[in-house]
Amino acid sequence: MHLVTWNTQWCCGLDGRSDPARIVQAVQALGHCDVLCLQEIAVNYPQLAGQPGDQVAQLQALLPDWQIFFGAAVDEWTPAGRQRFGNLIATRLPVLQVQHYPLPYPADAGVRSMPRICTQVTVQDPQLGAVRVLTTHLEYYSKRQRMSQVRYLRRLHLEALSQLCWAPQPAQDGSPFQTKVHTPHAVLCGDFNFEAHEPEYEAMGSRAGVIECLDAGWPEQVVGARWHDAWRVLSPQTPQPPTFKLFDRTYGPDPVACDFVWLSDSLRAQVRSLDVDGQTQASDHQPVRVVLGA
């Protein structure tokens, strides 16, 4: 499975022009792609740089053979009309299930922030089988909110594993209770707004403990489960190339890596390559491409 994740900054390049077609062209230049995960997709924000319109519709028109799923973290009515902002997953693989998870949003007085979301699309890869693909964009300004969101994403994966181990009662009655797809395979990608030396990174990759699983009522098979940073699986001694502030230093003087791909235990041995495009300036972030399976 070939996956690309990219914070597109509402498809706005460093030239100030918002252009979904340029984003698609840059992705296509990276090579074959089965799943495309884009963060910061906008619908009707005339006051943002480049005046983005309905980027979900524009991307669907540019990718006519793909299925597109948009998760709006912000969905509100203003004098400009209905405005939505969030993340998008596009895929050419068969889709089995789609879920949207609003992330924790604890109060942090006086700190600039916005709601956040994680979208999960379970796809059927011809080699790997069913894979849960999750994409998200964590809070930038509030460290408190960001850590809360990390803990939630970690728990989300552990709960999915518990469903796999202790499956619900089967049903083939055509109702919403009918049997769901459960798989150990998961990829979590996006802009996490933390670096590898920060506590949020350590928390994301921490193992499920015995007491934690007992307290949560999870089966013992979940003990020790964790997310793995795909870059460190491949290159444990080498820092990941920067994905933010490489060209635009608006948010700081030093380039950093904050766009990651996290893998379930079951996919750790399946990662073949991970590359960062350090050339494009179609966004203020750089796209990341990962290949899983043979």
| Domain ranges for the chain | 2-167+180-292
In degrees and rounded to multiples of 5, residue 139 shows phi and psi of -60, 140
Q: What average pLDDT does this structure show over 255-274?
A: 98
Give residue-wise pLDDT tens across range 108-155.
999 999 999 999 999 999 999 999 999 999 999 999 999 999 999 999
Q: What average pLDDT does this structure show over 168-191?
A: 96
pTM score of the predicted model = 0.97
In degrees and rounded to multiples of 5, residue 259 shows phi and psi of -105, 115
As assigned by CATH, the class of the 2-167+180-292 domain is alpha beta
What is the band of 9 on the pLDDT scale with cuts at 50, 70, 90? Answer: very high
Q: What average pLDDT does this structure show over 98-114?
A: 98
Q: What average pLDDT does this structure show over 26-44?
A: 98
Closest CA to 23 of 43, 49, 41: 41
For residue 162, give both structure tokens: 């518990």
Beta strands in the chain (DSSP E): 2-7, 35-43, 67-78, 81-91, 95-102, 117-125, 129-137, 186-191, 228-229, 259-263, 271-276, 288-292
- Mean pLDDT over all residues of the chain? 97
d(CA 276, CA 279): 9
Spatial CB neighbours of 102, under 8 Å, sequence gap ≥ 6: 73, 115, 116, 117
Give residue-wise pLDDT tens across range 242-257.
999 999 888 889 999 9
Whether the pLDDT of residue 294 is over 80: the answer is no
